[in-house]
Amino acid sequence: MPHPATARAQHPQDLLPIIQDAINRADLDAFLAAHDDGAAVVVPPDGRPARGHAEIRAAMTPVLAMRPHLETAVVQTLVADGFALSHSRWRLVLSENGSRSELRGLGTMVSRRTEDGTWRIVLDNPLTAPDQQAAPDAGRPRLAARREDDLDTGPEAGRSGSTEDDLGTGGQAGWSRLAARRENDLGTSAA
């Protein structure tokens, strides 16, 4: 079996493990190979947008220099007409100058099936939604340090009132709660 970072995604859900492995190995070429040539990515921790492989390479190089460790969990994937919309939870640990930073968030990824039947990322915004346990930050998605075991990917994931519940098993009610929290965080209303 090929290494995950050199594997081609046969299903949209395969993209997150490929990205996770590429980031954990600081393999920028493998990271880029999972993205469409014209992909657009929002790069944590600053939320800087990057479009196309050259911009993505420039934006990701400093992130990979911080010896990142990424954990991801697919929350939900919808597929139609050769496109997929995936929601995920992620945790990113960065090390720089002897200090450690931990970021968490909810992300949204759009991928499409290529002519050879594999999937590549077209749009990726890991800073889509706030994390439930973080403090508001002037309208930006919230990121927070949380316990190691909060990234639950087991069979009971989404059953404990976690963020996955809001996006996955919570259905429309979950989306409504998430939208209400976001409006509250941003000081806006849907009036």
Which residues, in sequence order, are CB contacts of 99 under 8 Å at separation 6+? none
Residue 163 has pLDDT above 50, yes or no: no
- The pLDDT of residue 84 is 97
Residue 58 has pLDDT above 70, yes or no: yes
The tokens of 24 are what? 């954990």
Mind listing the pLDDT tens digit for each residue in 68-106? Answer: 999 999 999 999 999 999 999 999 999 888 889 888 889
Cβ contact 124:41 at 8 Å: yes
CA distance 123 to 85: 9
- Residue length of the chain: 191
- The pLDDT of residue 6 is 52
Q: What angle do CA 167, 186, 94 make, to 5 degrees?
A: 65
Which residues, in sequence order, are CB contacts of 29 under 8 Å at separation 6+? none
CA distance 140 to 120: 27
Topology adopted by domain 12-186: Nuclear Transport Factor 2; Chain: A, (3.10.450)
> Domain ranges in the chain?
12-186
DSSP state of 137: B
The pTM for the full model equals: 0.67
Residue 20, CB half-sphere, CA atoms under 13 Å: how many? Answer: 16
The tokens of 81 are what? 């007409």
Strand order in the sheet with 83-96: 48-51, 35-43, 119-129, 99-113, 83-96, 69-80
Mind listing the pLDDT tens digit for each residue in 35-54? Answer: 999 999 999 888 999 999 99
* C-alpha torsion 156→158→164→169, nearest 10: 130
